[in-house]
Structure 1
Amino acid sequence: MIMLGLLTPTKYSRCVGQFFGRFKQTNRHRSFLSSGQSDEYIRSFITENTETAGEQSLTPEIKLRLFTPNCRFWRERPELWPFDDPYWAIYWPGGQALSRFLLDTPEVCQDKKVLDLGSGCGASAIAAKLSGAAHVVANDIDSVAAVATHMNCELNGLAPPICLTNNMIGSEPEGFDLILLGDMFYDEAIATSLHSWLDLCIKTHGTAVLIGDPGRAQFEGHGIRRLLRRLAQFELPESVREENYGLTCSSVWHYHPELYLN
């Protein structure tokens, strides 16, 4: 995910939250440690330290390399982790709903130019490609996420999307037909900057925006919430429910501010 803030067990998940919480003590050193690593090294590291998973998610037809309790770094000392926090190695509930929606309604992105913003593991980008998108860009500021996305596309027999690692929020809008945002409304400041940038994309290019979120407080309490129309709601699989505090469903929303101009 792009520019993710601190995770805690009470905000997101019991197992996943504890896992990420262990990384916080050494986070400031990782940019130095990960600099200069080759794609070949990153690929080898991901292969050795993740499992092919996804069968228990909302999209069992998409295979992903993810962290599970069977993986070494679920229990390993966090200071041995050589990269930034591995948000790309978790299939977040908002991304699951968004990917499920695209697979169920392929006409939403068929023949479209699609941006998966804060792409993480690349699941929504993969779903867009499987649904017939003409052009897909996956954007995440973590370069390891880009490698993981390439590997996940290969797992699913797909050519990888274009992967960009610059921060696109606030940049000059490109002519995307559709922007996908899964689990991006986790922080008030990020949500506000997204709100402004999405408005600009819509006004400049008529871009459609779909948001996947399981109903976190930061999302439900933000002003953008009144500008959204829910398109679908999905019951989370039991395994995902067990990991997440109080999250039983995940929804897909259409950001449609022109409906509220009057």
Structure 2
Amino acid sequence: MRNQILSQIIKHTIDSSAHLTPEMALRLITPQCALWSAPPEENPFKDPYWAFYWPGGQATARYILDNKHLVKDRVVLDVGSGCGAGAIAAAMGHARTAVANDIDPVAILASQVNAQLNGVTIATSSEDLVGAACSDCDVVLVGDMLYDEEFADKLFSWLTRLAVQGKLVLIGDPGRHGLTGERRCQLSMLGSFPLLQHTCEENHGYTDAKVWRIKAE
């Protein structure tokens, strides 16, 4: 089964560097792929979120690649990792361990494919870690996960606890519903990245994505 899924990933995606981290190649579904416009019944994957490089994930990975000292020799956890870009960026920044964590097992395989494509080694986990102590990690990355208010409440509470415990928690987001004004008051903005034109068009007109750090207060 694993080999079958791997072959499907390779068959239905292409290597893409047309994003904010062009030094990183990722297997993605793009407009050049048949699945881009195929009806759902022809898609061999259920909810292939991992096959798209979402704006917040792009910004987080870009920030890590520009600030490698933040992850060097540290244990980095990329939660809701999707294509694995955050973990791969951390590995490229010489993290001691970079973990791609996603509850979708296909995303885990895609992350492994992408890590190999970039010549780095990452660890993976399909466990639902939201709410876990994560005592072994030093840095937590989250991209594009504040997509609705209910889940954002649970996620943000957990991330805040981790920040209070001394972990560096970075959130990449283009302005989704869950990033409310109240929550932004608990964050420090570290950077803002203009999105490529095609990314803007594919993501409901978002023009930039920001990287935030949760204040450990």
- TM-score tier, shorter chain, comes to over 0.9
| Structure 1 residue 68: Cα displacement | 1.1
Of the three residues 150, 159, 166, the one matched with 1:198 is 159
**Contact persistence 2:143–2:173 (CA under 8 A):** yes
1:40 aligned partner: 3
**Contact persistence 2:87–2:99 (CA under 8 A):** yes
CA deviation profile, 1:192-227 (whole Å, cap 9, x unmatched): 111221233234x411100001122331x2632210
2:41 aligned partner: 79
Answering whether residue 104 of structure 2 is matched by residue 142 of structure 1, we say yes
1:180 aligned partner: 141
Larger radius of gyration: 1
2:176 aligned partner: 216
2:80 aligned partner: 118
**Consecutive unaligned residues in structure 2, runs of 5 or more:** none
CA RMSD of aligned residues (A): 1.4
1:69 aligned partner: 31
Identity of aligned residues (%): 45
Q: Secondary structure at the match of 2:108?
A: helix
Answering whether residue 213 of structure 2 is matched by residue 254 of structure 1, we say yes
Amino acid in the other structure paired with 2:202: E
**Contact persistence 2:163–2:216 (CA under 8 A):** no
Answering whether residue 60 of structure 2 is matched by residue 101 of structure 1, we say no
CA deviation profile, 1:53-101 (whole Å, cap 9, x unmatched): 12x2111110000001221222333123333200000000001111111
Q: Secondary structure at the match of 2:178?
A: helix
Once the two structures are overlaid, the 10-residue window that deviates more, 82-91 or 72-81, is 72-81
Q: Secondary structure at the match of 2:185?
A: helix
The TM-score with structure 2 as length reference comes to: 0.95
Which structure carries more helix by proportion?
A: 1
How many residue pairs match? The answer is 217
| Structure 1 residue 257: Cα displacement | 4.1
Q: Secondary structure at the match of 1:163?
A: strand
The TM-score with structure 1 as length reference comes to: 0.79
| Structure 1 residue 170: Cα displacement | 1.5
C-alpha distance in structure 1 between counterparts of 2:203 and 2:131, whole Å: 31
Of the three residues 241, 250, 257, the one matched with 2:200 is 241
Q: Secondary structure at the match of 2:170?
A: strand
**Consecutive unaligned residues in structure 1, runs of 5 or more:** 1-37
1:11 aligned partner: none
Q: Secondary structure at the match of 1:218?
A: coil
Superposed, 1:19-34 pairs within 5 Å as: none
C-alpha distance in structure 1 between counterparts of 2:138 and 2:216, whole Å: 16
**Contact persistence 1:228–1:257 (CA under 8 A):** no
List structure 1 segments (4+ residues) > 6 angstroms apart after TM superposition.
none
| Structure 1 residue 245: Cα displacement | 2.5
